[in-house]
Amino acid sequence: MKAVFLIADDFEDLQFFHLYYRLREDGIAVTVAAEAETLVAEGLHGYAVEPDMSIQELSPNDYDLLIVPGGRSPEHLRVDEEAVNLVRMFAQDGGIVAAIGHGTQLLISAGILSNKQATGDAGIRDDIRNCDAQYSDEPVVVDGNVITARGNPDLPAFCAQIRAAVAARSK
């Protein structure tokens, strides 16, 4: 099982690191990808991450799970057509796509939430509704291969749901 995180500057540190280390503890190979010019991505709270590769180098077929942490990072990524296309292709190919907080913005831009149920930070509730998705004010929402969560307080439930989806795929 292989997972990839998509990040840019101003990612929500806790949403990244909580899942990053949890997945590694579970024996999942984890890759971090960012825009080509990003040598180090800095989180909202000052933690730095060196990406393993650029988004442009990624092949969706090489990964089973794609994770988009929140913060302001998704705002940067959603204007990068390669990042948007990667998420779209990943979802269309049936990979597990997980986003938390503002991470759902990138899924909106990729057009993968239409006719789905989803959640995210309350500040993007209307964005979720405006893309023809049904917004649910729940800690975690699963619709097919898409897993979304509201924010930091929901990290334990989000992580548990991702782990359950990964376990189901591993059988």
Mean pLDDT for each consecutive 10-residue tract of the chain (171 residues)?
A: 96 97 95 90 96 93 96 95 95 96 97 96 96 96 97 97 92 72
Rounded distance between C-alpha atoms, residue 76 and residue 62, angstroms = 24
Phi and psi at residue 136, to the nearest 5° = -125, 125
Q: For 83-120, write each residue's pLDDT tens digit.
A: 999 999 999 999 999 999 999 999 999 999 999 999 99
- The answer to whether residue 102 is catalytic is yes
**CATH number of the domain located at residue range(s) 2-170 in this protein:** 3.40.50.880
- CB of 91 closer than 8 Å to CB of 115: no
Strand, helix or coil for residue 67: strand
Q: Where are the domains of the chain?
A: 2-170
Would you say 63 and 95 are in contact if contact means Cβ atoms under 8 Å apart?
yes
| Active-site residue identified among 18, 45, 76, 102 | 102
- Specify the pLDDT at position 169: 85
